[in-house]
Structure 1
């Protein structure tokens, strides 16, 4: 069972999951975020993915986590997101082992993760928060750079630091997320492609398959 909700800190989602017997492997889609995850007493960082990851945790496994969107994670962890792209890294390789040990042994992992985050919290880069919002709304990358007052090179560098990849990849990932959300809400695929900003339904199919590893129909069945 998976449950998520908005944390008190801005742009942060708390979630928990317990793997029931017979649960098939879970396909985790890229979303422009990074997560700090407690899993049965171990704590690690799941960096921003460029393609879907498949998780096959054993029955009874329990996860508690905070998901950092809009470029908030690098400030908490003290390193750029592109050092974590497509990686899962034990937290004690990033933070003090004693601090991580307290997290791993906590009776209430989510409360401990919240305290850990508050101690290390830095206000997110407002420009990158706006970039994420514009990318999510489907604004072209050139227009995002213009509205942000950044050169293409500056936008590329700051996006890699905040999100783990450049603005074009971020825009594609967030567009795919929007398309999957629309499809799961029951919208016809032809309508999904238009609403989410794809050139046509074939474009939608190619992008989803490239990022998710399976056709769109497999994600909504």
Structure 2
């Protein structure tokens, strides 16, 4: 994939995971080959278009860990990960319909279109070729989609920065119930859940970079280290120390 780099990646898939930025704003192109005893894929607020074992799949936004224990070691996945709020334009359904799900793309798109993409991905030959096919398909879908609600990106950015939900609602000119409905359709979660997921992403990024847990708690927006520990366990099912060493 040219500029691929092996990264820490999602805990649990680190050993075989590579990614690079997409030309689609905010998206990431990635490959992963599962390893024995791989840990779970963790919530990140994103949706993915995935090619694996000759199949096209959609991964919705997660509220908890997705176990890889049933996936045979050596299974290769190639995908495009879309930032929070972009998935509905690509897949044509509200994000809430995909929450915590892995579904065949054929369940969402016309059979003829899926067959065409499948044939193109199969003919690409290499992971780099496959991911370029997926990126191109997503680019076309986004270009043809209805113009996005500009408030969606503003909400995601504000919640990612740790701003309170009530303040975010006022900023985008919505009541809290309206913001909740917008968030369910765009992100798959209500704004409070999205804020928790994005705070978890911040915390894991800091911890992977070697920041101590007490400082992670402060910089990621937790009340204290105990709050960090509770939230990590609630959203991932495991303590931070295990997540950083899994995979």
Which of 115, 128, 140 is matched with 1:119 structurally? 140
- 1:128-139 equivalences in 2 (<5 Å): 128-139=152-163
Which of 29, 34, 52 is matched with 1:14 structurally? 29
| TM-score, L = length of structure 1 | 0.94
CA contact (8 A) 1:42 1:104 kept: yes
Query: Structure 2 stretches of 5 or more lacking a match?
Result: 1-15, 125-129
Q: Distance in 1 between matches of 2:59 and 2:165?
A: 26
Give the aligned partner of residue 92 of structure 1. Answer: 106
SS at match of 2:139: helix
SS at match of 1:219: helix
SS at match of 1:55: coil
Q: Are 2:37 and 1:24 equivalent residues in the alignment?
A: yes
Query: Structure 1 stretches of 5 or more lacking a match?
Result: none
Give the aligned partner of residue 20 of structure 2. Answer: 5
SS at match of 1:199: coil
Give the aligned partner of residue 167 of structure 1. Answer: 191
Q: Distance in 1 between matches of 2:73 and 2:225?
A: 38
Shift of 1:110: 1.5
Q: Distance in 2 between matches of 1:124 and 1:212?
A: 31
SS at match of 2:29: strand
CA contact (8 A) 1:71 1:124 kept: no
Shift of 1:164: 0.2
Q: Distance in 1 between matches of 2:105 and 2:48?
A: 11
Shift of 1:74: 0.1
Q: Distance in 1 between matches of 2:77 and 2:57?
A: 11
Shift of 1:168: 0.0
Give the aligned partner of residue 9 of structure 2. Answer: none
User: Which string of whole-angstrom CA distances, capped at 9 and with x for unpartnered residues, describes residues 164-202 of structure 1?
Assistant: 010000000000111111111111111111111111111
SS at match of 2:31: strand
SS at match of 1:27: coil
Q: Distance in 1 between matches of 2:88 and 2:134?
A: 15
Q: Distance in 1 between matches of 2:74 and 2:195?
A: 36
Shift of 1:142: 1.0
Count of residues paired in the alignment: 219
